Structure 1
Amino acid sequence: MKGFNYLRSILIAGVVSTAALSAAYAEDALSMELTANKVAKDAEGKTVYLPVRNAAAGTVVQYKATYTNTINKDISDLAVTLPVPANMTFTGEAYPASAQASTDGKNYADMPLMRKVNGKLVKIPLSEYRALRWNIKLLPAKKSADVSLNTIVN
């Protein structure tokens, strides 16, 4: 439950960064809608997404952000970031799969994240991932792009 409020606070504070737009222009040019959905299976075994406000430990929750270009001009080189909420663990599932991950919210790299332990490269546990970032090369005028990540409630 704390994870939901944490993510909303972070997103409201502004998790969108742009390389090609000034901050004021980016704020006017881009809107974002965030949804949190429980990931479940229907009677036929197909994955379904159900709106959720509170979730018990072990529940898989997908956070999906829809970024909409609200102006009549294309936006280039847009970087969008979603934090992994506190009290939640990233499952390794992200859309688009081109997401980069971070353990500190500042330094990003392709997944899986790796580090040296005793001279060997090993995968960093998903529980240490704190944020994901997607680079959107082009967001056409008046169009939208979706990004999402799945988490498990701790």
Structure 2
Amino acid sequence: MKRFKILRNVLLATIASSSLLNIAHAEDALKMELTANQVIKNAEGKTVYTPVRTAPAGTVIQYKANYTNTVNKDINDLMVTLPIPANMTFTGDAMPISAQASTDGKNYADMPLMRKVDGKMVKIPYSEYRTLRWNIKLLPAKKSAAVALNTTVN
């Protein structure tokens, strides 16, 4: 059975490159914590999140990034991105739902992504999504905000 090792260091390096607007010394003002959890429905039908390091194909994994403003000044227009690992497929679930998606990591649009095929607009398959980004309009001083996306191990 194919196993997938969660590459936290690669994701952290990518996420750490999130762009910040309207703040000096942003790297000192923002702390980010990334978690990877398996998404499981329990017997009562409630969603349970369990920390995971490896997972077989078909497993749903949620990547959640918690951003904390560590200074006594608000951060405005904070743009954060989460990559979708190459051996994972985005499920279409993003929190908050205001996320924009990209197939190339450069051009973003509201979901679902669309393209023209034979003169008709069609949805781009989630398997082609490579990154999601969110604009956190305001992150108050000493407060936190979280973003998350769900993927399936290929």
Q: For this structure pair, what is the TM-score category when the shorter chain's length is used for normalisation?
A: over 0.9
Instruction: Determine the C-alpha separation between the residues in 2 that align with 1:51 and 1:129.
Output: 24
SS state at 2:94 partner: strand
SS state at 2:19 partner: strand
Unaligned runs of 5+ in 1: none
In the TM superposition, what is the alpha-carbon distance from 1:16 to its structure 2 partner?
Answer: 1.5
1:16 match: 18
Aligned AA (2:139): L
In the TM superposition, what is the alpha-carbon distance from 1:44 to its structure 2 partner?
Answer: 1.2
Aligned AA (1:45): G
1:7-46 to 2 correspondence within 5 Å?
8-13=9-14, 14-22=16-24, 25-46=25-46
In the TM superposition, what is the alpha-carbon distance from 1:19 to its structure 2 partner?
Answer: 2.0
How big is each residue's C-alpha offset from its partner over 1:79-107, in whole Å with a ceiling of 9 and x where there is no partner? Answer: 00000011000000000000000000111
In the TM superposition, what is the alpha-carbon distance from 1:15 to its structure 2 partner?
Answer: 3.2
Instruction: Determine the C-alpha separation between the residues in 1 that align with 2:103 and 2:9.
Output: 19
Instruction: Determine the C-alpha separation between the residues in 2 that align with 1:16 and 1:105.
Output: 12
2:138 match: 138
Aligned AA (2:98): S
1:121 match: 121
Aligned AA (1:77): D
Q: Which moved more, 1:128-137 or 1:39-48?
A: 39-48
Instruction: Determine the C-alpha separation between the residues in 2 that align with 1:73 and 1:129.
Output: 34
Q: What percent of counterpart residues are identical?
A: 73
* Bigger share in helix: 1
Instruction: Determine the C-alpha separation between the residues in 2 that align with 1:8 and 1:108.
Output: 24
Residue 66 in 1 paired to residue 73 in 2?
Answer: no
Matched residues, number:
150
SS state at 1:55 partner: strand
- Retained in 2: the 8 A contact 1:81–1:133? yes
1:44-123 to 2 correspondence within 5 Å?
44-123=44-123
Q: TM-score, normalised by structure 1?
A: 0.93
SS state at 2:54 partner: coil
Instruction: Determine the C-alpha separation between the residues in 1 that align with 2:9 and 2:65.
Output: 11
Q: TM-score, normalised by structure 2?
A: 0.93
Unaligned runs of 5+ in 2: none
RMSD value, Cα: 1.1
